[in-house]
Amino acid sequence: MSQLFPKSANSLARASHVIVAALGGAVLLLVLNWNRMPWVNNQGVARDQPVPFSHQHHVGGMGVDCRYCHTSVEVAATAGIPPTKTCMNCHSQIWADSPTLEPVRASFREGRSLQWTRVYDLPDFAYFDHSAHVTHGVGCSTCHGRIDLQPLTYQVPSLQMEWCLDCHKAPEKYVRPKSEVFNIAYQPPANQLELGRRLVKEYGIKTRISCSTCHR
Amino acid sequence: MSTETRIDLSQVRRRLDGQGGRRYWKSLEELAETPGFQSFLHREFPENASLWTGDAGGRRDFLRLMGASMALAGLTACTKQPPEKIVPYVRQPEGIVPGKPQFYATALNDHGYAKGVLVESHMGRPTKIEGNPEHPASLGGTDLYGQAAILALYDPDRSQNLLLEGEIRTWSQFTVALKAALDAQKALKGKGLRLLTEPITSPTLAAQVEALLAEHPEARWHQWEPAGRNSARVGAQLAFGQPVETRYHLDQADVVLSLDCDFVSEGPANVRHIRDFASRRRLQAGVEPNRLYVIEGSPSATGASADHKLVVKPSQVEGLARAVAAGLGLAVAGGSSDRAAFVAGLVKDLQAHAGRSLVLAGEGQPPAVHALAHAINEKLGNVGKTVTFSDPVEARPVDHLASLAELAADLKAGQVDVLIVIDANPVYSAPADLDFKAALDKARLRIHAGLYLDETGERCQWHVPLAHTLESWGDLRAWDGTATLVQPLIAPLYGSKSVHELLAACSGQAAKPGHDVVREHWQAQLGPEFEARWRQALHDGVVAGTAFAAKAVSVQPGAWAQAAPAAVSGMELVFRPDPSVGDGRWANSGWLQELPKAITKLTWDNAALMSPRTAEKLGVKVGSTSRGQSTELVELRYKGRSAKAPAWVVPGHPDDVVTLHLGYGRTRAGRVGDGLGVNASLLRTSDAAGFGGGLEVRATRQAYTLACTQDHWTMEAQDQVRARNLMRVVELEEYQRDPHKIAEEFAHHRPAKDLTLYPPDHKYEGNAWGLVVDLNACVGCNACVVACVAENNIPVVGKEQVAMGREMHWIRVDRYYEGDLDDPAVHHQPVLCMQCENAPCEMVCPVAATSHNEEGLNDMAYNRCVGTRYCSNNCPYKVRRFNFFLYQDWETPSLKLQRNPDVSVRSRGVMEKCTYCVQRINVARIEARGQDKPIKDGDIKTACEQACPAQAITFGDVNDPQSRVAQLKQQPRNYGLLEELGARPRTTYLAVVKNPNPEVSHG
């Protein structure tokens, strides 16, 4: 009986091992990196908003302090999205007739809230607290990036748990002097690790990585 | 699948009789060692409990469901998060910080009386109720109803529309009709006008009612409450010849005698009573332990705390009370000669503590017993010390039974043209002999106002939905007269009106807001500086200086002193408000229906409670399965009426007596409460509201299944030590002689510290959280369980699921019996997560969903849990709960408002458990760190600790030697459950220390 397979089949069989392994690897890679894809985690995605609010203009251009609008950032879990009244403090005078701002004026006139789309959307089982971070030397730009350069706000980090843990495991990599927390253009010094270690000690920062720190 | 085992009671009794020393047991099933009990003991969930048990559990259903699960649940992790909206204020109110709760002081209406509370509000959404430390009826604690009130606010079954004959009408249409009817009555001086309410303590409402009556001089105001304080009211009238309010000062009493009085549950001061009583049960320096004698005709939570409990038929209590009175030298006849030795010892003890003793009479006893209690207190010189009196707090206190009977008679005689029923439900709750349902239909115009369209509302032409206390302005008085301004936490969800607005409409002011009515009333009361005083009162939750002054009254001799107790023959039937749903007003509360009742641990049902001997005599068969407790229906024939109820055997119940709790058998309660249990009012008569004789009971052999949690989560201890490594009880004398003996006795159970796979001496730096439960202070009131449900978004699972052992409560109150079958002592033990330092659950989790944190908490990450249930399998304390199904209601909009935003809402397939309220710990830690201060002892209160009226639960930092919890753990009676396992629980217990009188025998 002649052989069923020619000798070249051996090569095919060997190649199939590689192909199957490569395919399996690709699937594994896809699964493992699924949540790292911006398409899934919205990293870098700017959202549609009722009014095209520009942080670049307000923060970068006008130099408005973060806390003028985000009033509760130092005392509460949420930084706070400003009430329409805050917008109208200026915009009843400046750009008072701009058609772009009509939704803001309508909201104020009719007493209906503006509905913003959340850009930084943590899952509901993760409890983040702004006050705990900004009172201990975590700067706004550490998570929100150079918001003064963003015309439309987008999510800078991935917001994946590995990203949270990166800092929670080694806060000295990111912590800055308390006086620089709201400095949006802050650049970490060359000796960040040295400074960070000193500040971690000074501010009494603990590396909290147990589940209940964020999940409850 | 589930096999039933009958329990042979005589065999059980024999087995118990052979035991020496202290022995603790949980149930008849345990003593009979039924397979059902064994499966609860050896498994974390009974066999087959994890199987699908829907109506049609066939293979096809299974495949269909699995298909759906794959499609829906399996892939949800791979989908994108839907975009979320942020809706800020237009103009942000001053003082509100989004994400930070605010607390407002107000009061809840408890049978007309105020219970002061602080309500937590998340941006205008009330979510949790706490006691108001400044309110005399609360002092910071709440009872289970205070905790459950928040669910009642959001109950989707609340009445939402104003109805005329079932059709929706507007408020103005109603007020026009009301005005026409009242104008017609005015011409007749109100001859045909009747008002029916519950007791009223609200000064504003009382003034409004009086004004209405002044306009209609011949109109009548009737009051009805099925399980209120009628005996106390009538008894005080009998004793003093005038209506007075009695105030007990349990903190001042060394010796307390309860004549069938469940003072920890009944009455408007029960929370205060628990606090005062428990303050004398703490074994601390400077606290003289008190002694409690209870003579009871039906098992109660108070009886469980007794140092001496005498179980008698309810009809025998009066004779014993007369014997005690006579023994003290009062000119009282009719004393019973039974139990002479007990009475003699009791009398001697009372005399020895004259001026420092207290006698209380129960609501289930006739007024004469209350009069006797007053006479005894006066004789002992207790008046002004442990008991004081004041003017009545209620407006026009009346005999409710007489008042309702009078109304029924007028109705039957056709003399009622307009009947306005406010917040009362006589069609459901009136004694059967009044035949109120038929009588009501004789009134020509019937107007019902209430929170629900209930049995009475259904039979009235007009129904006006009332606003919940948390939605309306008002005022209420506590039992000592202290007034509280009731302020709304939220605008009425359904646009309902408050009672004040309804009464204003009766006086022709249909458009007047409730706020203005209340404010105008107080403007006259508070005088100058009104605005400042009004604001202060709103802030504090009490109007300063409104408590009533003590009043001197003296017992008047009367016929009651000489009359012999009414003869009661045959078996007796006892009517008591249900320990969970009260007189039925809480029937639609899922939280309360699912709450295991204080003594019986039944849920979702009432039952004909009887003693083991009575059950044997009747031939009633009880048994157990892994799908609930099997019993049979018994027919109760009583005064010419009959009803069928499931029998339930309660050790420690008096023989030849059946207890049937009120509050069940509702037909128009709502989707939760409808059709559960039996309506005891259908047997109750107005001449014997508490109990009556002549009961005949017949076994019917019709099977019935009850969901009783007494065997659930039974901890597996070696039998010979089962006694004391779970429950520890010592006598005071023994304890004082050698406080350390109790600890040493069990020292050999404690394994060496180095007997562990972990590094033996892990140091917890910083805070290390721990908790102590003082079992001697705990009265088993269940407030902690409901508080935990409210705080931690714990779902309700329903009767069938409870019967299978799937209730989700993170804290349970285990009840242990001690001693023989017929008259055992009862002990309560709240069990929550032990937060073991060597947690057995953590080692077996394959995905590290449960792990230790740096402060010693045993964390549970719900979103990481894949539902293997290995952890609960390995938990010796059985405190882990598994979501077998999607128990949480994710659909009903109003229920979403109640949820605590600081706690994740769990889904199907996830394990959950007590976290020591880690959300509260985190908030306190972040706040303290923000201000660079350490967390002070007492800054963090767990929900159970905060609710506990007895202050039996103490949470704190065990690393701080000055903290209360560390101090308590130093007490020699401190012990951990199942210490021999070496799990090193952070939750520990302080043993029960009973204080019996060596001179008293129970003969």
Residue B198 has what DSSP assignment? S
Two tokens, residue B680: 């005891």
End-to-end CA distance of chain B: 48
In chain B, which residues have their Cβ closer than 8 Å to the Cβ of A122?
A: none
pLDDT in tens, B846-891: 999 999 999 999 999 999 999 999 999 999 999 999 999 999 888 8
Question: What does the pLDDT read at residue B475?
Answer: 95
**Biggest CA-to-CA distance, chain A:** 97
pLDDT above 90 (res B54): no
Question: What does the pLDDT read at residue B861?
Answer: 94
Determine the distance in angstroms separating the CA of B849 from the nearest CA of chain A, rounded to an integer.
8
- Whether residue A125 lies within 8 A of chain B, CB to CB, comes out as yes
Question: What does the pLDDT read at residue B1000?
Answer: 82
Question: What does the pLDDT read at residue B477?
Answer: 95
Question: What does the pLDDT read at residue B228?
Answer: 87
B956, B802 contact by CB (below 8 A): no
- Closest residue by Cα to residue B170 from B488, B419, B583, B464: B464
> In chain A, whose CA is at the least distance from the CA of B915?
A216
C-alpha A38/C-alpha A106 separation (Å) is 34
A3 CB-near residues (< 8 Å, 6+ apart): none
What is the amino acid identity at position B37?
F
- Whether residue A107 lies within 8 A of chain B, CB to CB, comes out as yes
C-alpha B803/C-alpha B53 separation (Å) is 12
Between strands B387-390 and B245-248, the pairing is antiparallel
- Whether residue B845 lies within 8 A of chain A, CB to CB, comes out as no
- Facing residue for B904 by CB, picked from A34, A81, A124: A124
Determine the distance in angstroms separating the CA of B919 from the nearest CA of chain A, rounded to an integer.
6
Q: Tell me the β-bridge partners of B592.
A: none
Between strands B102-110 and B628-638, the pairing is unpaired
String of b and e for A3-35 (b: at least 16 CB within 10 Å)?
eeeeeeeeeeeeeeeeeeeeeeeeeeeeeeeee
- Closest residue by Cα to residue B21 from B817, B819, B736, B741: B819
DSSP of B353-408: TTTSEEEEE-TTS-HHHHHHHHHHHHHTT-BTTTEEEES-SSSS---HHHHHHHHH
pLDDT above 70 (res B363): yes
Question: What does the pLDDT read at residue B74?
Answer: 44
C-alpha B576/C-alpha B583 separation (Å) is 8
Average pLDDT of the residues in B753-763: 71
pLDDT in tens, B136-180: 999 999 999 999 999 999 999 999 999 999 999 999 999 999 999
Cβ contact, residue pair A81, B857, below 8 Å: no
Please report where in the chains the tokens 């428990």 appear, as a residue: B278
Cβ contact, residue pair B922, A136, below 8 Å: no
Cβ contact, residue pair B862, A215, below 8 Å: yes
- Closest residue by Cα to residue B952 from B841, B813, B749, B833: B813
Cβ contact, residue pair A208, B98, below 8 Å: no
String of b and e for B468-496 (b: at least 16 CB within 10 Å)?
bbbbbbbbbbbbbbbbbbbbbbbebbeeb
Structural element, H or E, at residue B446? strand B445-450
Question: What does the pLDDT read at residue B59?
Answer: 53
Question: What does the pLDDT read at residue B284?
Answer: 81
Where is pLDDT greater, at A80 or B68?
A80
Average pLDDT of the residues in B112-125: 94
DSSP of B15-57: HHHT--S--EE--HHHHHT-HHHHHHHHSSS-TTTTS--SS--
- Whether residue B903 lies within 8 A of chain A, CB to CB, comes out as yes
pLDDT band for position B73 (cuts 50, 70, 90): very low
pLDDT band for position B68 (cuts 50, 70, 90): low
B592, B144 contact by CB (below 8 A): yes
Model pTM? 0.92
pLDDT above 90 (res B832): yes
> In chain A, whose CA is at the least distance from the CA of B89?
A83
pLDDT above 60 (res B974): yes
String of b and e for B213-249 (b: at least 16 CB within 10 Å)?
bebbeebbbbbbbbbbbbbbbbbbbbbbeeebbbbbb
Average pLDDT of the residues in B735-764: 77
Taken in order B937, B938, B939, B944, the sign of the CA dihedral is: positive
- Angle, alpha carbons B814-B818-B824 (nearest 5°): 105
pLDDT above 90 (res A118): yes
String of b and e for B774-793 (b: at least 16 CB within 10 Å)?
bbbbbbbbbbbbbbbbbbbb
Determine the distance in angstroms separating the CA of A105 from the nearest CA of chain B, rounded to an integer.
10
Question: What does the pLDDT read at residue B9?
Answer: 80
Average pLDDT of the residues in B424-442: 93
- Angle, alpha carbons B994-B997-B1003 (nearest 5°): 110
Average pLDDT of the residues in A158-165: 92
pLDDT in tens, A32-51: 888 888 888 889 888 889 99
> In chain A, whose CA is at the least distance from the CA of B916?
A216
Determine the distance in angstroms separating the CA of B756 from the nearest CA of chain A, rounded to an integer.
22
Between strands B85-86 and B974-975, the pairing is unpaired
- Whether residue B757 lies within 8 A of chain A, CB to CB, comes out as no
- Whether residue B92 lies within 8 A of chain A, CB to CB, comes out as yes
Determine the distance in angstroms separating the CA of A69 from the nearest CA of chain B, rounded to an integer.
12
List % helix, strand, coil for chain A (3-state, nearest 5): 50, 5, 50
Q: Tell me the β-bridge partners of B608.
A: B647, B660
pLDDT in tens, B688-740: 899 999 999 999 989 999 999 988 888 877 554 455 578 888 999 989 898 88
In chain B, which residues have their Cβ closer than 8 Å to the Cβ of A34?
A: 78
Question: What does the pLDDT read at residue B64?
Answer: 56
Q: Which residues of chain B from 63 to 82 reach within 8 Å of chain A, CB to CB?
A: 78, 80-81
The CA distances from residue B273 to A28, B358, B360, B774, in Å, are 65, 12, 11, 17
Two tokens, residue B386: 């442990």
- Angle, alpha carbons A101-A104-A106 (nearest 5°): 110
Cβ contact, residue pair A123, B930, below 8 Å: no
C-alpha B988/C-alpha B948 separation (Å) is 17
- Facing residue for A113 by CB, picked from B89, B903, B929: B89
B607, B647 contact by CB (below 8 A): yes
Question: What does the pLDDT read at residue B122?
Answer: 92
C-alpha B390/C-alpha B373 separation (Å) is 17
pLDDT band for position B426 (cuts 50, 70, 90): very high
In chain A, which residues have their Cβ closer than 8 Å to the Cβ of B93?
A: none
Residue A102 has what DSSP assignment? H
Where is pLDDT greater, at B82 or B314?
B314
Poorest-confidence range of B39-53, B208-222, B415-429, B792-806? B39-53
Question: What does the pLDDT read at residue B56?
Answer: 46
Cβ contact, residue pair A82, B930, below 8 Å: no
Q: How many residues does chain A have?
A: 216
In chain B, which residues have their Cβ closer than 8 Å to the Cβ of A136?
A: 929
Two tokens, residue B100: 């930070």
Mean pLDDT of chain B: 89
In chain A, which residues have their Cβ closer than 8 Å to the Cβ of B92?
A: 83, 85
What is the amino acid identity at position B919?
Q
Question: What does the pLDDT read at residue A82?
Answer: 94
Backbone phi and psi for residue A23, each to the nearest 5 degrees, phi listed first:
-65, -45
In chain B, which residues have their Cβ closer than 8 Å to the Cβ of A84?
A: 88-91
Determine how many CB atoms are found less than 10 A away from the CB of residue B124.
Answer: 12
Poorest-confidence range of A43-47, A55-59, B133-137, B271-275? A43-47
Determine how many CB atoms are found less than 10 A away from the CB of residue B916.
Answer: 26
pLDDT above 50 (res B466): yes
- Closest residue by Cα to residue B957 from B809, B792, B801, B768: B768
**Is 0.95 exceeded by the ipTM?**
no
Poorest-confidence range of B22-31, B160-169, B553-562, B910-919? B22-31
Question: What does the pLDDT read at residue B63?
Answer: 56
Question: What does the pLDDT read at residue B1?
Answer: 41
Q: Which residues of chain A from 33 to 92 reach within 8 Å of chain B, CB to CB?
A: 34, 39-40, 42, 47, 72, 74-78, 80-85
pLDDT above 80 (res B956): yes
B683, B226 contact by CB (below 8 A): no
Please report where in the chains the tokens 């948390």 appear, as a residue: B470
pLDDT above 50 (res B293): yes
The CA distances from residue B655 to B15, B342, B573, B614, in Å, are 20, 19, 11, 6
Cβ contact, residue pair A216, B99, below 8 Å: no
Residue A179 has what DSSP assignment? G
Average pLDDT of the residues in A80-100: 92
pLDDT above 80 (res A180): yes
C-alpha B785/C-alpha B781 separation (Å) is 9
Question: What does the pLDDT read at residue B721?
Answer: 46
Question: What does the pLDDT read at residue B739?
Answer: 87
Average pLDDT of the residues in B935-946: 94
Pseudo-torsion of CA B834, B837, B838, B842, nearest 10°?
70
Cβ contact, residue pair B904, A206, below 8 Å: no
Cβ contact, residue pair A114, B862, below 8 Å: no
> In chain B, whose CA is at the least distance from the CA of A81?
B88
- Whether residue A103 lies within 8 A of chain B, CB to CB, comes out as no
Determine how many CB atoms are found less than 10 A away from the CB of residue B846.
Answer: 9
In chain A, which residues have their Cβ closer than 8 Å to the Cβ of B904?
A: 124-125, 215-216
Cβ contact, residue pair B915, A212, below 8 Å: yes
pLDDT above 70 (res B46): no
Poorest-confidence range of A160-164, B16-20, B315-319, B672-676? B16-20
Helix intervals (H) in B834-963: 840-844, 870-873, 893-898, 918-930, 943-947
pLDDT in tens, B481-508: 999 999 999 999 998 999 999 999 998 8
Backbone phi and psi for residue B119, each to the nearest 5 degrees, phi listed first:
-110, 130
DSSP of B450-476: ESS--TTGGGSSEEEEBPPGGGS-EEE
- Facing residue for A118 by CB, picked from B84, B904, B932: B84
